[in-house]
Amino acid sequence: MLSDNLDAPLKTPSAGVFVWPRFSGWMLLALLIAALVLVPVAVTFSSFSHTEGDTLAHLTEFVLPGLIVNTLWLVLGVGIAVSVLGVSLAWLVAMCEFPGRRLFDWALLLPLALPAYVTAFVAIGLLDFTGPLQTALREAFGPMQLPEIRSRGGVILVMSLALYPYVYLIAKNAFSTQGAIALEAAQSLGLSRTQGFFRVALPMARPWIAAGLMLALMETLADFGTMAIFNYDTFTTAIYKAWYSLFSLPAAAQLASILILFVLVAVVFEQRSRAKMRYGAVGRSAASRRIKLSPTMAALALLYASTVLAIAFIIPVTQLALWARDVMADDLDSRYWAFAWHSLLLAGMGALIVVGVSLLLAYAGRQRPTKTMMWAQRLATIGYAFPGAVLAVGLFIPVAWLDNWLIDTGRDWFGFEGHEVLKGTLLVMLLAYLVRFLAVGFGPIESGLHRITRNVDEAARNLGTGAAGLLTRVHLPMLRASLLTAAVFAFVDIMKEMPITLMTRPFGWDTLAVRVFEMTSEGEWERAALPSLAIVIAGIIPIILLTWRGAHSHG
Amino acid sequence: MKPTQLLAAFALCATALPVLAEEVVVYSARNEQLIKPLFDAYTRDTGVQIKFITDKEGPLMARLKAEGRNTPADVLLTVDAGNLWQASEEELLRPIQSKILTANVPAHLRDPGNEWFGLSVRARTLIYNTSKVKPADLSTYEDLANPKWKGRLCLRTSKKVYNQSLVAMMITEYGEDKTEDMVRGWVSNLATSPFPDDTKAMEAVAAGQCDVTLVNTYYYGRLMEKNPNLPLGIFWPNQNLKNKAAGVHVNISGAGVTRNAKNPAGAQKLIEWLSSDKAQNLFADANLEYPVNPKIAPDKTVAAWGGFKQNLINVKEAGSLQVQAVKLMDRAGYK
């Protein structure tokens, strides 16, 4: 810990005098937050102690090879698709002018409100052999061999359409603050606009694109619902299988550890690219600097953006609405208001907690920018790559243990007669949401905080602002866009979340996502459309809020 | 109102209200829309309040296990005997002595150790396309591995516990090697990759993507109710066999009293009620299943499918052999 103390000279303890290492409060905070995330990891790994060679040997021989291939293809496919989609759309919307640009600015974020597992069952419902498209084609042209939606390509397509907004939004922020400057610099060196994009603007934005890509890929790795609908085997589905079908916690733990290893490697790479981030706001991009596209190019841009929006959002939602219309009479009852209310309340509380803790964590990094701090920060965010149910159990077990201890102590000392102290509350749930979604909150806030240079701090200090004032009167207003982005990401993600909510909810706390589970687990996809639609509608509002406020603070 | 009248009214209300309504807490892997009508009926009949939570059986049992002594759950209600066997293995349930349950639930559909009891029965049987297949072409589960069905078979994923139980029971009936050959045969006859649920598999049969599939009877009932014109027929396999494999594979949804139940008496009464006449009709009809109590007639839609001989091996084998079944399916390449 002495190395954390950057300013004081190294003290040599004289004989008999013990020198306490300088503990930074910020360091402790960051370590505590990281420790929270490591609890479920530790719980999962604790089952390593029972070696169960049989199951693991079986999995290694028959299941693991296919898994690794599947996962690698998935990560590659989604990674490329999401990057291409996100970056191209972000560039068009941030830097160019074409008809409808203002609409697409926020509309292209709408797929965030649609859970990937919903897009999955809509896509299969529409495009599979038994769906309306193939049936119509068969009736018109006779039996024909069409590309199979229930395939690797189908999974990549659905996940990419659901996850590109992460890259889109973050890249858009990067381009709108740096893009114009980068292009001007490139053009002053004699490069064309295209070259300027590829050789200057894109590399400058790369750390931000990497951050968005990390979010998308972590969510892909952790996803279970979509993989279950496609029957696509990944590490997450194998962990479930080992745990619940083969009743082998050790095997599940071992698979989970391989997953975490992958994620840590990716985190290390991202850390390296983060180090190349150019800090400081580079000036705002004025509307007058937008690239005016030729009519053909503008038409193509419009077509491209419209197609993406159509297949990622409009078509799935329309199908949901049609299905919901059929079941609404039977299923829509007064309880739906309670479900919606629970969803909104939990998402709201969860988002507040995630944003608050993310801000603390990011601030800690600013105050004590050491290597340990960096690692603590990175570790704190890996919860996002953890399969939801594993995380839920990993947190539930220690909380239940703590609860039992509290109850027993309470009984011995105070005659406490109840059976729940922590378990009946929302504590576990909110804690699990925090651990899982810290990544989506931390990413945008840290990027935003990095943009506030030390010069700003010094200027404020010179003008007499104290530490508290620095935060509230200088940093927070400058961070508004990032805070809003973080809040919206967290809110929407919690609304869509299923396994943690299912497992940790107290009695009577069913949410819309729980309803979707009830229906899809019985194969009643049409009935699942109603709560799915409600989730989408509830999620759209914060998204529109985000971009409306965002548009007001940028040029 | 005069003060005395007010006082009288208050006293009346005070005595009419139960001091604390009796409560039974249920952890259910059976979906909310299927159990809520039953629990509401129970509350109407007896005044006992039922609090319940639904979730997939895996996390539910993990939760029960973590809560240990202080679990609020009195009853564990799940689908599939495999899950109930597992709960018993994990020491999550307690044995109960109940003449009512012994009388109402046939021996092969309850735990020999009295820790869990079946409450409704579902059969996993063959569904075929009536315009392409004649009943005379079908005979047994094993026959589906015959090359004559190449490219004509659709199946649900092996990840669903229903198929795991089916294969587990087959291991009991035929032994592991023969079952593995059978499953390999099934896989080579698949027309397309396995479906995430039974309904999709049946829709594929109706659309002509394949000709025959294996489903739980209630999914067939539900689909035909929604869409009566589908060219789908139901067939009971293994009827003419004389060995252990005779009869259609059946499974149960059932319940047990949790080991650390706070209200074990109330829990037992609830399970007994669920096996009684009134509840049996509600329980089974809501989902087009067969009542576990053989004296109760099933719903008329269900009865119209005809009678069949069911396999009489105790369903607990579905659980005890589940791990072997899953590994077998992995080896056979059944996804």
Q: What is the pLDDT of residue B18?
A: 45
In a domain, B5, yes or no: no
Nearest CA in chain A to B216: A522
Measure the CA–CA gap between A92 and B297, rounded to whole angstroms: 67
Distance of CA A363 to the CA centre of its chain: 20
A283 pLDDT band, cuts 50/70/90, is low
Predicted local distance difference test score (pLDDT) of residue B9: 54
Task: List pLDDT tens digits, range A347-402.
Answer: 999 999 999 999 989 888 888 888 888 888 888 888 888 888 788 888 888 888 88
Query: Do B328 and B207 share a domain, yes or no?
Result: yes
Amino acid at B300: K
- Tell me what pLDDT residue A384 has: 87
Which tens digits make up the pLDDT trace of A452-481?
Answer: 777 888 888 888 777 777 777 778 888 887
Return d(Cα B317, Cα B172) in angstroms, integer: 7
Residues B54 and B176 in one domain: no
Q: Are strands A96-97 and A291-292 parallel, antiparallel or unpaired?
A: parallel
Candidates B23, B61, B63: best to mutate against A (most CBs of A within 10 A) is: B63
> Between A130, A407, A508, which is nearest B209 by CB?
A130
Identify whether the C-beta of residue A388 lies closer than 8 Å to the C-beta of residue A224. yes
Q: What is the pLDDT of residue A10?
A: 47
Residue A17 pLDDT grade (very low, low, confident, very high; cuts 50, 70, 90): low
> What pLDDT shows up at residue B62?
87
Task: Answer yes or no: do B257 and B142 share one domain.
Answer: no
| Nearest residue on chain A to B25, alpha-carbon basis | A507
Query: Which of A47, A58, A130 to substitute to test the interface with B, most B CBs within 10 Å?
Result: A130
- B-chain residues within 8 Å CB-CB of A499? 59
At residue A52, the pLDDT reads 66
CB A217 within 8 A of CB A263: no
Q: Are B90 and B185 in contact (CB under 8 A)?
A: no
Residue B305 near residue B217 (C-beta atoms within 8 A)? yes
Q: Considering only A32-46, A65-79, A434-448, B79-93, which range has the smallest mean pLDDT?
A: A32-46
CB contact under 8 A, A502 and B59: yes
Structural contact between residues B177 and B334, judged by C-beta atoms closer than 8 angstroms? no
Which residue out of A522, A525, A526 would a mutagenesis test of the B interface target, given it has the greatest number of B Cβ atoms within 10 Å? A522
Strand pairing partners for B215?
A: B125
Are residue B109 and residue B156 in the same domain, yes or no? no
Same domain for B109 and B32:
yes
Residues of chain B with pLDDT under 70: 1-20
| A538 Cβ contact list (under 8 Å, min separation 6) | A113, A340, A343, A344, A347, A495, A512
Residue of B nearest to A507 (CA): B53
Evaluate whether B202 touches B127 at the Cβ level (below 8 Å): yes
Summarised one tens digit per residue, pLDDT across range A290-312 is: 788 888 989 999 999 999 999 99
A497-536 per-position pLDDT tens digit:
988 898 888 888 899 999 898 888 777 888 889 999 999 9
For residue A346, pLDDT beyond 80: yes
Q: How much is the average pLDDT of A412-438?
A: 82
| Chain B residues touching residue A419 (CB < 8 angstroms) | 70-72, 262
Instruction: At B91, list the tokens.
Output: 């020491």
Locate all alpha helices (DSSP H) within A146-201, ordered by sequence: 152-188, 193-196
* Per-residue pLDDT at A11 exceeds 50: no
Shared domain for B229 and B324, answered yes or no, is: yes
* pLDDT tens per residue across span A141-183: 888 888 889 999 999 999 999 999 999 988 888 888 777 788 8
Distance from CA of A515 to the nearest CA of B (A): 9
Cα separation of A76 and A73, whole Å? 5
Query: pLDDT value at position A287?
Result: 45
> Quick check: B70 and A243 CB within 8 A?
no
Which of A231, A403, A507 minimises the CB distance to B196?
A231
Clarify whether residues B160 and B139 are in a common domain.
Answer: yes
| Domain assignment of residue B188, given as a range | 122-248+315-332
B330 vs A contacts (CB less than 8 Å): 58-59, 62-63
- Measured CA to CA, the distance from residue B66 to residue B78 in angstroms comes to 18
Top residue of B24, B33, B205 to mutate, by most chain A CBs within 10 Å, is B33
Q: Residue A8's pLDDT band (boundaries 50, 70, 90)? A: very low
Alpha helices (H) along A244-387: 249-274, 295-309, 315-331, 335-367, 371-380
Which residue in A has a C-alpha nearest to residue B62's C-alpha? A393
Q: pLDDT, tens digit, for every residue of A49-75? A: 566 678 888 888 998 899 899 999 999
For residue B50, the model assigns a pLDDT of 95
- Token pair belonging to A479: 């961070």
Strand bridging mode B117-129 / B249-258: antiparallel
DSSP H or E run through A124: helix A116-127
Give the containing element (helix H, strand E) for B54.
Answer: strand B49-54
Residue B304 lies in a domain: no
* A245/B161 Cβ within 8 A: yes
Other Cβ atoms within 10 Å of A147 Cβ, number: 8
Range A344-348 average pLDDT: 93
Q: Give the integer Cα–Cα distance in Å for B31 and B187.
A: 30
One-letter amino acid of A5:
N
Name the amino acid, one letter, at B215: V
| B262·A419 Cβ contact <8 A | yes
B66 and A420 in contact by Cβ < 8 A?
Answer: no
What percent of chain B has a predicted confidence (pLDDT) above 90?
A: 73
Domains along chain A? 33-38+53-553 (1.10.3720.10)
Q: For B304, which DSSP code? A: T
Contact criterion met (CB below 8 Å) for B94 and A425:
no
With CA atoms as reference, report the closest residue to A502 among B233, B94, B58. B58
Phi/psi for B201 (5° steps) reads -65, -40
Asked if residue B6 belongs to a domain, the reply is: no
Give the DSSP H/E element, type plus range, for residue A292.
strand A291-292
* pLDDT score of A137 more than 80: yes
B9 within domain boundaries: no
Kindly list the distances between the CA atom of residue A489 and the CA atoms of A174, A496, A517, A524, in Å, as whole numbers in the listed order. Answer: 17, 11, 22, 29
- Amino acid in position A382: I
CA–CA separation, B292 and A303 (whole Å): 59
Alpha-carbon span B26 to B49, nearest angstrom: 11
B31 CB neighbours in chain A (<8 A) are 518, 521-522
Apex CA A534: angle with CA A324 and CA A327, to 5°? 20
Q: What one-character DSSP code corresponds to residue B262?
A: S
**Confidence at A276, pLDDT banded by 50, 70, 90:** low
**What's the domain count of chain B?**
2
Tokens of A418: 């109840």
Which of the two residues, B323 and A11, has the higher pLDDT score? Answer: B323
Among B200, B213, B74, B61, which residue's Cα sits nearest to residue B133?
Answer: B213
**Which pLDDT does position A286 carry in this prediction?**
45
Instruction: Tell which wins on pLDDT, A250 or B135.
Output: B135
Asked whether residue B3 is assigned to any structural domain, the reply reads no
Residue type at A168 in one-letter notation:
Y
Name the least confident of A98-102, A282-286, A489-493.
A282-286
Q: Are B93 and B126 members of one domain?
A: no
Interchain proximity A240–B31, CB inside 8 Å: no
* Cβ proximity of A219 and A163 under 8 Å: yes
Whether residues B30 and B78 fall in one domain = yes
Has residue B209 been placed in a domain? Answer: yes
**Chain centroid to CA A320:** 24
Q: For residue B219, list chain A residues with Cβ-Cβ distance below 8 A.
A: 523
The answer to whether residues B240 and B223 belong to one domain is yes
CB pairs under 8 A between A and B: 129
The verdict on a CB contact (< 8 Å) between B196 and A135 is no
Number of Cβ within 10 Å of residue B35's Cβ equals: 21
User: Per the domain annotation, does B40 fall within a domain?
Assistant: yes
Please check whether residues B129 and B267 belong to one and the same domain. no
Please report, for the domain that includes residue B62, its CATH number: 3.40.190.10
In this structure, what token pair is assigned to residue B144?
A: 């589906």
* Residue B75: predicted pLDDT: 96
- Within-domain flag for B268: yes
pLDDT at A80: 96
Together in a domain, B95 and B212: no
